[in-house]
Amino acid sequence: MTMALLRVRHVVFLSLFQVLWILPVVYAQSSISSNATRHSEEYCAMYDICGKRSDGKVLNCPYGSPSVKPTDLLSSKIQSLCPTITGNVCCTAAQFDTLRASVQQAIPFLVGCPACLRNFLNLFCELTCSPNQSLFINVTSVNKVNNNMTVGGIDFYITDAFGEGLYDSCKDVKFGTMNSRAMEFIGAGAQNFKEWYTFIGRQAAPNLPGSPYAIRFRSNATDSSEMVPVNVSTYSCGDSSLGCSCGDCPLSTVCSNTAAPVSPKKGSCAVKIGSIKAKCIDLAVTILYIVLVSVFFGWGLFHRTRKQSPASKTKPLWNNVVDDGEVQSISRAKNPPMQVLEDPVHMRSGVQLSIVQGYMSKFYRGYGKWVARNPITVLGSSSAIVLLLCLGLIRFKVETRPEKLWVGPGSKAAEEKQFFDNHLAPFYRIEQLIIATMPDVKHGKAPSIVTEDNIKLLFEMQKKVDGIKANYSGSMVSLSDICMKPLDQDCASQSVIQYFKLDPENYDNYGGVEHLTYCFEHYSSADECMSAYKAPLDPSTALGGFSGKNYSEASAFLITYPVNNAINKEGNETERAVAWEKAFIELAKGELLQMVQSKNLSLSFSSESSIEEELKRESTADAITILISYLVMFAYISLTLGDSPRLSSFYISSKVLLGLSGVVLVMLSVLGSVGFFSAIGVKSTLIIMEVIPFLVLAVGVDNMCILVHAVKRQPLTLPLEVRISNALVEVGPSITLASLSEVLAFAVGSFIPMPACRVFSMFAALAVLLDFLLQATAFVALIVLDFRRTEDKRVDCFPCMKISSYSNSDKGTEERKPGLLARYMKEIHAPILSLWIVKIVVISIFVAFSLASIALCTRIQPGLEQKIVLPQDSYLQGYFNNISEYLRIGPPLYFVVKNFNYSSESRHTNQLCSISQCDSESLLNEIARASLIPESSYVAKPAASWLDDFLVWISPEAFGCCRKFTNATYCPPDDQPPCCSSSDGSCSLGGVCKDCTTCFRHSDLHNGRPSITQFTEKLPWFLEALPSSDCAKGGHGAYTSSVELKGYESGIIQASSFRTYHTPLNKQVDYVNSMRATRELCSRISDSLKIEVFPYSVFYMFFEQYLDIWKTALMSLSIAIGAVFIVCLVITCSLWSSGIILLVLAMIVVDLMGVMAILHIQLNAVSVVNLVMAVGISVEFCVHMTHAFSVSTGDRDQRIKEALATMGASVFSGITLTKLVGVIVLCFSRTEIFVVYYFQMYLALVLLGFLHGLVFLPVVLSMFGPPSRCVLREQQQDRPSVPSQQ
């Protein structure tokens, strides 16, 4: 959930200049004089170097001369770089050396695509050394430098065909390190060859990259000009001899045989009926409903007509039913609701029971008498056992770490994360600020944040952040101590002020906001736009709220501080980071927030430890709400347990002390459960601490009310122990059935893999079991003591006080009037439900809603919003909203390869890479194809490939990269120490590196691939090589943690990764679908290449559960409902009754899922646990009513009327209202997870349970109910029970 959740781009890339940064435009001679200019073959337009600009860029001489025959050494050098130039040339050795040094910067970008590189080199080779230079070069202006005339501008005549061929061969070439196209660096993102020419020919200002003089590319020449445009043949990127990879050349012939990626059409099955488009599931349930209603109406009319016929009057349809040996009573004279009979095991109160119920009744009868005689013993022993369990609270611990709460131990994603952390490097910690402008009140659009005042505000805030000193164990920790430093020098902070090197003095020196606008377009190529940590900063990682690439319109600044992470989350390194993060959050809440608000901006912020800290704070956020809920339920319990309030006897007949004792028993059951699991080492969670007490109280109150009401229904003329015994016999089996069903339903949740929900289910199941046992023991004993108090005329809450003047007005059950609720149930509710038309309407409405809920279930989205779990006043609420609103880049995505065999005998290298000679269906080519359909693959761009860059780095063509001294040690590029002095910045072709040579010649490599020895030797060189202008392919920083070198000498690299990014993920379903898509992609690639590849992103571990959440939910619900059905079947031995209970339970759960879809409640482990618990809680709405119906006499309408009178009132007041009272209080919770998953879902459950239990179920029983278990007896030994008094 968490962290996954943080979508911040990881920028650890190389510094790079344009090809023309020091391009000396070695363009030779043109004669601009009073004499006529000569344009002919074997004649030069520019020759030799006549000066330098102030920034060191060389300037050619503007004088024409015949082409010159080069020396053998110069000729061989020219042939190695420019094979099309033969014979005489128009360049000196110095000009060629500067040409070679210039193109050296571009070669690493293009060497992976030989056709592009060849075309690119041909352009500059023709321009510099062609013997026919004067035919297509015309010097248009000259400048005087140090008394020498130099070239000031030229016209370069070249055909459009060459330009198009050059651009087409290079436009798709990738630069892996930056996950982008090479054209972004060597052509400023040109969209066609003319834009590329314009970029190349632009004259650069001093100290800025570009040409030292203006070049105008022209394609047409007038007949009088004698100019002939260059028309050198170009190579297609799909050329057989110089072919590029599929990633660099999608139109290559070898790639045309590979099926192009097709974006799968999203959406479910739909049917169009006229202008209405309906989902298939909607149409199917509609048709099914029409069929069912038609059949039901037809069946009802048929039987109603038959019932009214003379023949049917002699044989009533609903009576005289004999089923499986159960005898229906035919006595209508007295219709006794209950008959007392204690003789056989299988008979009770004139009711034929199942074997299990018979033994349970016998047990409860004897047990009830024993408890009534020994209440103190029962109360003391049961309390002592629970208190013993509470001793386990000594080892009580709370788990707040998100990865321990939401990720199962057998999680595949967790195993992959552990592999990634152990073999490569843990994903960095993220500290982030988001500063945004306020939307315009009139238009609703936020203005641009890129202004001078806001930039200066960033400098002030950066100074504050740099000044943070956190105290950890006596030492002070600053950002520079813990931040990530790709090149081992400066922090890789992501902020737009990196374009000013984090130096406020550079703001005016560089040109202020205009400099930012320039860097937004040239961030990857302009040196002055490089960050302080010497790497390009992609503006999409530092800006938010813009469309496309309109960075100047951004409405938010994203400031990110990547901090080093550690595998050991409890080690010193992590604790130092946490200490700094706490200080960072305090600074953001205080000074930074005030600074931002003073500028009329908004600020949101977060640190890596923020979620965990806020979860800890959540433990106290709703303490008052929970307490109020308890007090309200306690007040209601005390009221509903007592008799009808009478002022003269209220202090005697009230049940406040009994209600309080019941609440205490609930708390003891919860503490006993927590104590037991704490003793065996299971950590608790905040949800357990806050929800289970309320949940168990809501469940336990039902049984308390039913028990007390059952005792009160007994004749007062009977001794107390007989009343207690009869009450337990009457309701004990149904309470046992309901409680066992609840325990089983809760226990099913322990199979859910998410630890927080699994532990919750375990704690809840034991708590409900202990609560049931305490109710059957301690609470029954408390009932005995309370009734003794009443009979002794002692005051409630003060039992030592005895009132002698108190007189009991109840003389017996004959004189006790039924309560108002009981009279309503029997005289109004039941008769209305017995009407035929009402039954038809009820069945039709409930079936319609259930079928509609089935269709709605398909609209439930998986996921759990992070902000829902947090308190509503948490500062992270605004942060998560801003992340979704402003972020324009998705989370980093790594494709991890296990056991890469790089030996020359293995094909793994070509199966993974994406440069020339790599397989068309290689891993990196497949990733590149996936990036072409980001809407379904969720892959934003091709992957950065250390393997591609390494192969290019060692390539002989990249002669400025892999070099060695004469002693075979590593020689860095010419612009790095010791080749280039870092103190004075002087770099020359001489010095200590003058004798350095390339690591390999073409003949040293086998088909361009290194041997195992060469690979083993040069890979560490590559990973330690710093990127620079002369060689941008150095792997240090970009790939430092991408390859595991441990044991690689054997020819097997155990772990390596290729980095890219997901598309922006704004919804929970996007996270789930992106994980599913990349896993499917890797599975397909692994099967094809026979190489183990898996995707990894920081959020995968928290979202893996949602891949199979529907399977988990359906399986858990099936097991829970099945378990309840089996318990009912075993106890009642009635398939008929159990089937009806099963039907009602299934409808309640389906309807609850329909409500979830309507309320946009997501499907996650929390909601799955709630659905499973709904099965257990819904049992209470069904079991008691079904049991009362089965033991009543008369026809079905009479039996349901009697059941509603005796048990309906208890179900409404003792089950529905008690839960409703407690649930409503939760709507005031400050934590949204309580409001959504416990208030909304539980309120829906209570209302659905009430409607199904007291409306739908009575109708179903009155029409299809099982036969009565009552048997005809001629004599009555005891008086019947009376309806519940409410």
First to last CA, the chain: 48
Cβ(1175)–Cβ(1149) below 8 Å: yes
pTM of this structure: 0.77
Q: What is the reported pLDDT for 23? A: 31
Read off φ and ψ for residue 217, nearest 5 degrees.
-85, 125
**489 - beta bridge partners?**
none
Least confident of 11-25, 70-84, 813-827, 1121-1135: 11-25
Evaluated on CA atoms 1189, 1193, 1196, 1201, the torsion sign reads negative
| Mean pLDDT value across residues 1039-1053 | 92
Cβ(267)–Cβ(939) below 8 Å: no
- Give the gyration radius of the chain's Cα atoms: 42
**Three-state DSSP class for residue 562:** strand
Res 271 pLDDT > 80: no
Res 950 pLDDT > 90: yes
Report the amino acid identity of residue 1027: P
Pairwise CA distance, residues 610 & 432, whole Å: 11
Cβ(888)–Cβ(540) below 8 Å: yes
Q: What is the reported pLDDT for 321? A: 39
Read off φ and ψ for residue 1103, nearest 5 degrees.
-110, 0
Q: What is the reported pLDDT for 458? A: 95
Res 980 pLDDT > 50: yes
The winner for highest mean pLDDT among 14-18, 231-235, 1153-1157 is 1153-1157
Read off φ and ψ for residue 230, nearest 5 degrees.
-65, 135
Pairwise CA distance, residues 303 & 313, whole Å: 12
| 648 vs 130 pLDDT, higher one | 130
Tens of pLDDT along 536-568? Answer: 888 989 999 998 888 999 999 999 999 998 877
Tens of pLDDT along 844-856? Answer: 999 999 999 999 9
Two tokens at 245? 């990879």
| Mean pLDDT value across residues 744-772 | 83
Q: What is the reported pLDDT for 1286? A: 36
Q: Work out whether strand 543-544 and strand 351-352 pair parallel, antiparallel, or are unpaired.
A: unpaired
**794 - beta bridge partners?**
802
Read off φ and ψ for residue 825, nearest 5 degrees.
-60, -40
Res 620 pLDDT > 70: no
Two tokens at 621? 């956020």
Pairwise CA distance, residues 796 & 98, whole Å: 104
Report the amino acid identity of residue 679: A
Two tokens at 388? 């013993």
Least confident of 402-411, 659-668, 715-724: 402-411
pLDDT band (50, 70, 90) for residue 460: very high
| 437 vs 488 pLDDT, higher one | 437
Report the amino acid identity of residue 1066: N
Q: Helical H runs in 111-175?
A: 114-129, 160-170
Q: What is the reported pLDDT for 270? A: 67
Pairwise CA distance, residues 738 & 752, whole Å: 23
Residues contacting 1090, CB < 8 A, separation 6+: none
Pairwise CA distance, residues 637 & 219, whole Å: 94
Q: What is the reported pLDDT for 1226? A: 75
pLDDT band (50, 70, 90) for residue 978: confident
Res 927 pLDDT > 60: yes
Q: Work out whether strand 214-218 and strand 148-157 pair parallel, antiparallel, or are unpaired.
A: parallel
Two tokens at 434? 């988001």
Nearest to 1153 by CA among 1140, 1139, 1165, 1168: 1168
| 467 vs 187 pLDDT, higher one | 467
CA angle 718, 721, 725 (to 5 degrees): 95
Q: What is the reported pLDDT for 1183? A: 84
Cβ(1144)–Cβ(1250) below 8 Å: no
Res 690 pLDDT > 90: no
Q: What is the reported pLDDT for 1271? A: 58
Pairwise CA distance, residues 1093 & 1079, whole Å: 9
Q: What is the reported pLDDT for 216? A: 92
Cβ(1036)–Cβ(918) below 8 Å: no
pLDDT band (50, 70, 90) for residue 314: very low
| Mean pLDDT value across residues 327-340 | 38
Q: What is the reported pLDDT for 223? A: 66
| Mean pLDDT value across residues 1050-1071 | 92
Nearest to 943 by CA among 926, 961, 964, 918: 926
**602 - beta bridge partners?**
436
Pairwise CA distance, residues 252 & 240, whole Å: 9
Res 810 pLDDT > 60: no
Cβ(55)–Cβ(17) below 8 Å: no
Pairwise CA distance, residues 947 & 925, whole Å: 13
Least confident of 280-294, 371-385, 423-437, 664-678: 280-294
| 313 vs 92 pLDDT, higher one | 92
Q: Which helix (H) or strand (E) holds 898?
A: strand 892-901
State percent of the chain over pLDDT 70. 84
Cis ω on the peptide bond leading into residue 942 (within 30° of 0)? no
Q: What is the reported pLDDT for 604? A: 95
Res 1040 pLDDT > 60: yes
The winner for highest mean pLDDT among 105-114, 649-658, 789-798, 1154-1163 is 1154-1163
Pairwise CA distance, residues 560 & 432, whole Å: 4
Pairwise CA distance, residues 517 & 554, whole Å: 11
- CA distances to 489, 841, 995, 999 from 977, in Å: 16, 89, 15, 18
| 895 vs 509 pLDDT, higher one | 895
Q: What is the reported pLDDT for 1074? A: 95
Res 1279 pLDDT > 70: no
